[in-house]
Structure 1
């Protein structure tokens, strides 16, 4: 997963994968079939972990606005090298777009989970007076998810921790009750 995450599918050779996993070519083929099937499994594993982490950060605080802030701020890894990886899912979108139906299906399974939980938290925040009640919860959830993509792309492009945290907090301030 780490090799695909750092390099993408096309720039990762079978030799890169064999070296990272410490196995022979035949073992790779026996276990995964081919490089593409290994990539799909790595992306599936990455998405499960990242969506779980996102939902955990979003849900942990009692305050919905604090949960949204934790979600966004938590995207920027403290470790410079880790932060520079950005998001494997966003990298996959950049590399494949809509051209691979199996990867599109993976995204379509993962995205609604976070989107639905965001809508719930936004509604809770509106009921508690923390989030602007005039905002449409669905559109606001979509805005937050697009912001997440932007933050992860900025991280991959070398954005500093301070800048990424600042943008995350700016986004939260936009939806906060004035």
Structure 2
């Protein structure tokens, strides 16, 4: 009979996610994970398989928490333009806040691992697709209400906003000029308005 686990799995995954987020996959050692999760290497591997398995679980946890929060910003009440601006500026302000969790964990994973790791690529793709679908929904809502140009494809607009959002989150790590980043937000939102209002 298998022995019951004597640790809080959610807390361990949170600690692992934080470690991977701060250090990156390659720079995170098993010792680092043992220290931050307070589990020995054998317990970690028994529970999660290996470092790679724990990394994938961390990416799933990110989708269940941070990605869900991003979607919630888009589904909040209020004008569509305000919701889009809130998503974009929240990302900028988070990345300029000086936190020791640099950038977006899913973007970091995409840059560091996705090209050579199909499992990571699939997890990151799910994260991105979740936000893209929420963007498509809110943009289509804005087209119906007259806030967003109805002559453009909501799907293409969603990809444009998503690309800008993720691009800003990368740029904020090396360009700490909030006003310059907000200029990009303003330009994007202006381009999405109905032509008669521009």
TM-score, normalised with respect to structure 1: 0.88
Match of 1:128 in 2: 145
Structure 1, 121-130 or 137-146: larger mean CA deviation: 121-130
The alignment of Structure 1 onto Structure 2 pairs a total of residues equal to 178
Shift of 1:19: 1.6
Query: Within 2, Cα distance between the matches of 1:103 and 1:78?
Result: 22
1:80/1:160 Cα in 2 relative to 1: closer, same or farther (>3 Å)?
Answer: farther
Which residue in the other structure is 1:11 paired with? 27
Give the unaligned 5+ runs of structure 2: 1-16
> Scaled by the length of structure 2, what TM-score is found?
0.80
| Separation in 2, partners of 1:83, 1:124 | 36
Q: Report the alpha carbon displacement of residue 12 of structure 1 after superposing the two structures with TM.
A: 0.9
Higher relative contact order (CA 8 A, sep 6+): 1
For residue 162 of structure 1, report the CA deviation from its aligned partner.
4.0
Q: What 5-or-longer segments of structure 1 have no aligned partner?
A: none
Q: CA RMSD in A?
A: 2.1
Structure 2 residue aligned with 1:20: 36
Extract structure 1 runs of 4+ deviating beyond 3 A: 160-166
Larger Cα-atom Rg = 2
- Cα offset for 1:37? 0.9
- Displacement after TM superposition at 1:134 (Å): 2.2
Deviations, residues 110-167 of structure 1 (Å, cap 9, x unaligned): 3333222211211221222211222221111001111111011123335344443443
Q: Matched residues in 2 for 1:7 and 1:159: separation?
A: 21
Q: 1:102 to 1:78 in 2, by over 3 A?
A: closer
Partner of 2:39, secondary structure, is coil
The Cα shift of 1:83 comes to: 7.8
